[in-house]
């Protein structure tokens, strides 16, 4: 049995209710404005989704919720790809005692519920349900009853629209509003509001805070909206925060203030390039951790690439780097001790923190977020400079540093880190490359 049609004719609650009452088994595929979600339904209950079933997505969700370490995730992913390709990542994490079944079940339930609630808010698009006699899923941890989900999700639609209108999306940066303690003597906050408030630091944007709280998107946004209405926080333009991270920026350039580091924008940042430059470096450098090693490598690469260009980036090199790092650290919030200073990435505050606690739990999470963030930054910069300089020129710069500079350096605490593997993982490959 197959059903298909338009969301203008049939709403998501109506479709789900029909599938639930009929105890259907199959896949509900919904598409709207370039977005798509496939819900796996078994005997009228939602048991999975294609979004959640993406291995790295589930693992990343667990890392953001601080339920597992990034290093543990990478080990499990390697084991899954080489030894147990037929096993689910959640199953392997539980078997290795890296997470309890209850914690995994709660994380999956929260994510699955929020995906369904977001679907309920879609008013246009197309749907198709493919009936399947059996759905092959091993170790299903969550089965969501459809009717309670619809009731709760429908009740939230109007509230959600109001919240999004007030917060204006997920890019605003919450900051503490000026307040008189005497005026707030009788202030009462819910436990959720106190929890969310603890993540407000004037740097993380709304979306990044939602990743960190572990409460889910709706509860986090709802708490932020409540704090905003109570005038405990206000919202700052993210561009202003990113700009404040750079030194020597020409604030008179309106274009620089509004420029985003989108793929399209990055392509137009630079003009012609000069004759090929050779990286200049000092041999025998010593680093306390691999974070310092990676930062120095990126700084050397950036400096050489910038020297190749006749025309400066819009807003200057400082602004370009500051915006790039700001966009990255929103996804790796525990790397926020890394900042940009002029044309360089500065990691000394973070390394000082690691030096005090050593690279062990809980500081291990900070180290892993830092390495992950620097990897995302390298990938972003590699994509930019390969377009502007050419892939061959960019790779020549990188290979020169790997061959001539890297063998001479020393790292006190490598934490099983290999720069070559790091670069290979985050490399931007051309079409057709493996």
DSSP annotation string for 311-340: SPPTT-HHHHHHHHHHHHHTTSGGGTT-EE
Contact between 88 and 139 (Cβ < 8 Å): yes
Query: pLDDT (tens digit, 9 = 90+) per residue, 265-280?
Result: 444 445 544 556 788 8
pLDDT at residue 365, as a whole number: 85
Query: d(Cα 64, Cα 70) in Å, to the nearest integer?
Result: 9
CA distances from 26 to 43, 47, 149 (A): 9, 11, 18
Residue 3, token pair as written in the block: 């059903």
Give residue-wise pLDDT tens across range 94-120.
Answer: 889 999 989 888 888 888 888 888 888
The pLDDT value recorded for residue 257 is 35
CA 281 to chain centre: 32
Start-end of H helices in 168-234: 191-197, 206-213, 217-229
Report how far residue 129's alpha carbon sits from residue 132's, in angstroms, rounded to the nearest whole number: 9
Confidence at 56, pLDDT banded by 50, 70, 90: low
Higher-pLDDT residue of 131 and 292 is 292
Confidence at 249, pLDDT banded by 50, 70, 90: very low
Whole-angstrom Cα distance, residue 386 to residue 409?
26
| In the predicted structure, residue 247 carries a pLDDT above the cut 70 | no
Condensed to tens digits (0 to 9), the pLDDT of residues 351-360 reads 888 887 677 7
E strand or H helix at 46: strand 45-49
pLDDT at 286 over 50: yes
**Cα distances (Å, whole numbers) of residue 285 to 362, 397, 408, 421:** 28, 19, 7, 20
231: left (phi over 0), alpha (psi -120 to 50) or beta: left
Q: What is the Cβ-side half-sphere exposure of residue 212, based on CA atoms within 13 angstroms?
A: 24
Q: Which domains does the chain have, with CATH numbers?
A: 2-157 (no CATH), 168-236 (1.10.10), 242-426 (no CATH)
Alpha-carbon distance 160 to 166, whole Å? 10
| Residues 185-209 as b or e (16 or more Cβ within 10 Å = b) | eeeeeeeebebbbebbeebbbbbbb
- In this prediction, residue 208 carries a pLDDT of 86
| Average pLDDT, integer, range 56-68 | 78
Rounded Cα–Cα distance for residues 432 and 213 (Å): 39
Angle between helices 12-21 and 101-120 (to 10 degrees): 130
Neighbours of 60 (CB within 10 A): 16
- Pairing verdict, β 339-341 and 344-346: antiparallel
pTM score, two decimals?
A: 0.67
pLDDT at 287: 93
- Mean residue pLDDT of the chain comes to 82
Predicted local confidence at residue 53, as pLDDT: 45
**Per-residue pLDDT tens over the stretch 141-191:** 788 899 988 888 888 888 888 998 999 888 899 999 887 767 666 778 899
């Amino acid at each position: 049995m197959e059903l298909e049609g338009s969301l203008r004719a049939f709403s998501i609650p109506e479709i789900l209710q029909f599938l639930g009452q009929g105890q259907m088994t199959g896949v509900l595929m919904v598409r709207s404005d370039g977005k798509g979600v496939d819900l796996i339904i078994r005997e009228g209950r939602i048991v999975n989704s294609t979004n959640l079933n993406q291995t790295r997505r589930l693992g990343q969700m667990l890392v953001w919720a601080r339920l597992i370490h990034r290093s543990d995730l990478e080990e499990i992913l390697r084991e899954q790809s080489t030894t147990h390709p037929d096993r689910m990542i959640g199953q392997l994490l539980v078997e290795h005692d890296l997470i309890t079944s209850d914690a995994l079940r709660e994380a999956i339930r929260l994510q699955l519920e929020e995906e369904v609630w977001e679907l309920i808010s879609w008013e246009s698009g197309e749907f198709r349900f493919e009936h399947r006699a059996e759905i092959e899923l091993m170790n299903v941890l969550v089965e969501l009853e459809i009717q309670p989900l619809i009731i709760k999700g429908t009740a939230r639609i109007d509230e959600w629209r109001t919240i999004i209108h007030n917060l204006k999306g997920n890019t605003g940066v919450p900051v503490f509003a000026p307040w008189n303690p005497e005026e707030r003597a009788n202030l009462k906050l819910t436990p959720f509001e106190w929890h969310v408030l603890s993540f407000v630091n004037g740097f993380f944007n709304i979306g990044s805070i939602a990743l960190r709280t572990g409460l889910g998107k709706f509860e986090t946004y709802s708490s932020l909206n409540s704090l905003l209405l109570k005038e405990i926080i206000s919202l700052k333009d993210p561009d202003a925060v990113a700009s404040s991270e750079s030194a020597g920026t020409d604030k008179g350039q309106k274009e620089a203030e509004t420029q985003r580091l989108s793929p399209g924008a990055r392509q137009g940042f630079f003009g012609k390039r000069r004759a090929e430059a050779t990286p200049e470096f000092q041999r025998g450098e010593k680093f306390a951790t691999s974070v310092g090693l990676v930062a120095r490598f990126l700084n050397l690469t950036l400096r050489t690439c910038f020297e190749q260009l006749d025309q400066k980036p819009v807003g200057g090199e400082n602004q370009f780097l500051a915006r790039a790092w700001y966009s990255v650290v929103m996804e790796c919030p525990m790397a926020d001790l890394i900042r940009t200073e002029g044309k360089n990435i500065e990691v000394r505050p973070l390394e000082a923190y690691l030096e005090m606690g050593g690279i062990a739990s809980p500081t291990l999470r900070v180290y892993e977020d830092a390495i992950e963030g620097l990897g995302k930054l390298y990938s972003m910069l590699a994509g930019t400079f390969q377009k502007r300089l050419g892939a061959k020129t960019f790779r020549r710069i990188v290979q020169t540093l790997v061959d001539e500079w890297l063998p001479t350096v020393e790292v006190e605490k490598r934490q099983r880190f290999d720069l070559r593997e790091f670069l290979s993982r985050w490399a931007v490959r051309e079409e057709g490359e493996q």
